[in-house]
Amino acid sequence: MNAVAGGAVAVAAAGWTGLGRAQPAGRIDIHHHWHPPLIRDAFGGLSLGASWPSEEWTVEGALDLMDRFGIATGVLSVRNPRTRVSASLCREVNELAARLIADHPGRFGALAFIPQFDFERAVDEAVFALDELELDGVLLHPSVDNVYLGVPELDPLMAALDERNAVVLIHPTSPFYFAELSLDIAPSVMEYVFETTRAIMNLVVSGTIERYPNIRFITAHAGGAAPYIAARLNEQGERAIAGVRERAPNGILSYLKSFYFGTAQATSTFSLNALLELVDVSRVVFGTDLPISPPELINDSDDVLRNYAGLSADDLVRIERENALELLPRLRG
């Protein structure tokens, strides 16, 4: 039995056959995870997610999963459970990603994996991944070791990314303080979105967005809570944060509108109402969070997106493909 057939049988055995409903071909998934064995080993075992039928990530399994959800191209990124990673591991992952893209033209893109806690090596790896490997962008966490995006220590990285007009996906993980909370609630339920919101706001009020306007930031999960509390961030931020008008002269709300917002695990009428009040469809990009997301969630999200009263057929094409192609023209082929 070949690997593709094996993957299909495993999906069927898990009871998931047909759960990926037919969707228009050509969707670009800007938020798609991968877990090659070297990542699994480095993290001491990491769940591949509810949509993955076996214990090990494979290219064939990824392609099968993508096909089930009408995904032409998956832009791969590593989900890091707040673990310090070496620069050498990042290099191995990024080189593997480049080979995967070359071996499967048009099916994969990749966001560089970098040692964000090490400011100097983070710059080196981002530059290597973008210039030498020609990866499609970089993944950054909202914070590492309580150092949030927007701090001066990260300015050299921001400068390098700005010079290259880089695409950056801001992807959350558990916050540094989570173990101190007396809540029996998994961090993914609430804390991920709050981490993303803090990073967005700090990038704005620190002046990072103003100083480095060529970076195209994509926020995972529709920007966390930022769209819903955008008016509060704007009004209270400009009133209560000293010097913000000098660092962010166009106004906080203007900078919030400059982000791109991914739909992964955030496609509901509640989130779309808030998001599309803040930005228009040109700033919304399709994502699934596969294979972390369960198939039922992807199907439900697709239903919401297709039946949302404020979106036309042309809008859906922009969200599911064209906006990503504007960010990543290489994917046009």
Task: Answer whether residue 8 is part of any domain.
Answer: no
Residue 138 predicted with pLDDT over 60: yes
**What are the tokens at 264?**
């992964």
* Lowest-confidence region among 8-12, 40-44, 202-206, 255-259: 8-12
How far is residue 304's CA from residue 71's CA, in Å, rounded to a whole number? Answer: 17
Instruction: Find the mean pLDDT for residues 263-283.
Output: 96
Across the strands, what pairs with 76?
32, 110
Residue 16: inside a domain: no
What phi, psi does 74 have (nearest 5°)?
A: -105, 120
Q: What is the CATH number of the domain that holds 221?
A: 3.20.20.140
Q: Which residue has the higher pLDDT, 135 or 44?
A: 135
* Residue 18 pLDDT: 47
Give per-residue pLDDT as tens, 283-299. 999 999 999 899 999 99
Question: Could you give the number of structural domains in the chain?
Answer: 1
Indicate whether 159 pLDDT > 60: yes
Q: Say how many residues make up the chain.
A: 333
Range of the domain at 288: 23-332
pLDDT given for residue 80 in this prediction: 74
Chain segment 12-57, per-residue pLDDT in tens = 434 444 455 556 669 999 999 998 888 888 877 666 777 776 778 8
Q: Of 45-54, 169-178, 262-271, give the lowest mean pLDDT range.
A: 45-54
Q: What percent of the chain has pLDDT over 70?
A: 91
**What are the backbone dihedrals phi and psi of residue 278, each rounded to the nearest 5 degrees, phi first?**
-85, -45
The verdict on residue 4 lying in a domain is no
pLDDT for position 37: 85
Residue 7 has pLDDT above 50, yes or no: no
- 242 in a structural domain: yes
Residue spans of beta strands (DSSP E) within 141-182: 143-144, 147-148, 167-170
Q: What percent of the chain has pLDDT over 90?
A: 77
Q: Is 291 helix (H, G, I), strand (E, B) or coil?
A: coil
Q: What pLDDT band is residue 81 in, cutting at 50, 70 and 90?
A: low
- Does a structural domain hold residue 2? no
Beta strands 137-140 and 27-33, pairing class: unpaired
Q: Does 10 map to a domain?
A: no
Q: Is 125 inside a domain boundary? A: yes
Q: Write down the mean pLDDT value for the chain.
A: 90
Q: CA 114, CA 80: separation in Å to the nearest integer? A: 11
Over 70: is that where the pLDDT of 74 sits?
yes
pTM of the model: 0.92
Choose the weakest-confidence range: 198-202, 279-283, 329-333.
329-333
Give residue 24's pLDDT.
60
The predicted structure's pLDDT at residue 11: 41
